[in-house]
Structures are given as structure tokens and as C-alpha cells.
């Protein structure tokens, strides 16, 4: 089990060239297997499988009995189990991740890519944020977007509520606010290709993580290597 007031981040790269479903050293329940097969794009299928592979390895390595049949979802789609461990899944093209905590956690991962029209996000950004993004460019967009979505996922809302997204603001590099709740947030860039933000309530006292667990696949064996976390150089001061 996790020590009190702590969190752990697990990341696994995915791509279009490997079929992770065929490599699993365990069996997914048939319903999950069929859902994986319904994904048309290989990377989407791999992301779905990778997140569940991380869950399996995490609970196994912690000595916790875990069965995929124990995986349930809220009416907003946030997964949970009967175990006293919260977790939040996120994925993007090329990477899947799971943030675990003994308090409620939120995680968003986005592939860094060019955004053609920032205006289409006007319902979730304030006018000041839209101006900032237009002035500063792509990384500013992902700094703000991953912050907002990580907190929405902490709430169990995903990106279903534009008003909540719009109301979520970063007030300094490690603090954000939504209504009257203060969040500790940590943002970083992985491999110069992925922007990540994780969020917890400020009062939970977790603070910044110094490492993440990077998945290494050897055949059908998945292991994890502790890797230093470096804060994003692109944060407001």
C-alpha cells in the first residue's frame, strides 16, 4: 500500500507498431478484450490495454489481490476499485499513464502538437487565457489545458463541463483554484513530446513528486524504472 499522503505515477509509451493485447501475460475479461478489439486505431487499442496492464502490475507488485472484475465506473466514467487506492487514467497518442494515490488524484497527458485554431476552445478558457495562448503559443495551451483537465478528472467530471473548466485557474506554478478549493498541481514535459499535469487537493499535503515509474517492455514482461521528474520549464512565475 502507499504510505499516507502520497502518490505514484506510472507511464508507458505506446505506438502503432506493437499489438499489446497479444502480448499480455494475463487474460483480460472477455468484455474488456472485446472493447479493446473495437478500437479501430492500433494506438487507441494499445492505450486501453496499456492502462490496464499498468493497473495489473501495480497491484501485483504491491501484493494486493486485484481482479479486473473489481473495476467499476462512476456515472461520469471515472474508474475505481474496492481497494483503498484512488487512481486516475490518462492517455494520448503515444503514451498511457496511471496516477495512484491514497487520496483523490487527477491526471492529464497530452501529446504536444500544433493547434490550428485556439478560438474553438473559447468556452473553456477565459479571455485573458486565450490572449496568453495566442501570444505565447502551443506550450501555453497545453500548460493551461492539462491543468484544467487534471482538476476536472480529480472532480470525476472529465471535460464534460465547460463552465467548470473555464472556472479553473492556475494562481502560481504549483497552485490552482476551482471555486473555493485549492489544488496542488505539478506540470512537466516527458521526452520533449508529452505535457502532463497531476493534481491533488492542497490540504492533502502530497507536494511534488520527484520521480515517475517508466514502463519497459521486454517481450511480454513489463517492468518499471524510477525516473527523475523535471518540472516543465514553461510555467508562469
Residue 121 domain flag: yes
Residue 235 domain flag: no
Per-residue pLDDT of the chain (237 residues; tens, 9 = 90+): 566 678 999 999 998 889 999 999 999 999 999 999 999 999 999 999 999 999 999 999 999 888 898 888 888 778 888 888 899 999 999 999 999 999 999 999 999 998 887 777 778 888 888 888 888 888 999 999 999 999 999 988 766 677 778 889 888 889 999 998 999 999 999 999 999 999 999 999 998 999 999 999 998 999 999 999 877 665 554
**Measured distance CA(236)–CA(217) in Å, rounded:** 36
Terminal Cα-to-Cα distance of the chain (whole angstroms): 36
Q: Which domain holds residue 149?
A: 7-228
Residue 63 domain flag: yes
Could you tell me which residues come within 8 angstroms of residue 133 by beta carbon, excluding any fewer than 6 positions away? 118, 125, 140, 141, 144
Residue 27 domain flag: yes
pLDDT the model gives residue 4: 66
Residue 2 domain flag: no
pTM greater than 0.85 (yes/no):
yes
Residue 71 domain flag: yes
* CATH number of the domain bearing residue 59: 3.90.470.20
Count of CA atoms in the C-beta half-sphere (13 A) of 124: 19
CA torsion, ordered 204, 81, 211, 141, to nearest 10 deg: -80
Residue 131 domain flag: yes
The number of distinct structural domains making up the chain is: 1
Q: How many CB atoms neighbour CB 149 within 10 A?
A: 24
pLDDT the model gives residue 237: 45
Check if the beta carbon of residue 130 is closer than 8 Å to that of residue 118. Answer: yes
Tell me the three cell numbers of residue 157.
Answer: 467530471
Amino acid at each position: 500500500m502507499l504510505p499516507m499522503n502520497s502518490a505514484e505515477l506510472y507511464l508507458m509509451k505506446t505506438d502503432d507498431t506493437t499489438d499489446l493485447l497479444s502480448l499480455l501475460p494475463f487474460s483480460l475479461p472477455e468484455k474488456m478484450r472485446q472493447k479493446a478489439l473495437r478500437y479501430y486505431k492500433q494506438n487507441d487499442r494499445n492505450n486501453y490495454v496499456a492502462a490496464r496492464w499498468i493497473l495489473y502490475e501495480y497491484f501485483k507488485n504491491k501484493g494486493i489481490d486485484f481482479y479486473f472484475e473489481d473495476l467499476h465506473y462512476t456515472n461520469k466514467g471515472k474508474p475505481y476499485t474496492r481497494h483503498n487506492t484512488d487512481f486516475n487514467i490518462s492517455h494520448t497518442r503515444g503514451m498511457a499513464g496511471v496516477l495512484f494515490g491514497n487520496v483523490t488524484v487527477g491526471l492529464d497527458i497530452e501529446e504536444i502538437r500544433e493547434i490550428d485554431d485556439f478560438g474553438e476552445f473559447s468556452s473553456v478558457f477565459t479571455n485573458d487565457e486565450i490572449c496568453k495562448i495566442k501570444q505565447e503559443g502551443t506550450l501555453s495551451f497545453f500548460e493551461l489545458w492539462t491543468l484544467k483537465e487534471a482538476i476536472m478528472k480529480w472532480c470525476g467530471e472529465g471535460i464534460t463541463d465547460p463552465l467548470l473548466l473555464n472556472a479553473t485557474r492556475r494562481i502560481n506554478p504549483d497552485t490552482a483554484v476551482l471555486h473555493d478549493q485549492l489544488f496542488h498541481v505539478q506540470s512537466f514535459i516527458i521526452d520533449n513530446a508529452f505535457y502532463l499535469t497531476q493534481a491533488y487537493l492542497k490540504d492533502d499535503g502530497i507536494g511534488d513528486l520527484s520521480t515517475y515509474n517508466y514502463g519497459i517492455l521486454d517481450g511480454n514482461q513489463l517492468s518499471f524504472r524510477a525516473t527523475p521528474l523535471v518540472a516543465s520549464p514553461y510555467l508562469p512565475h
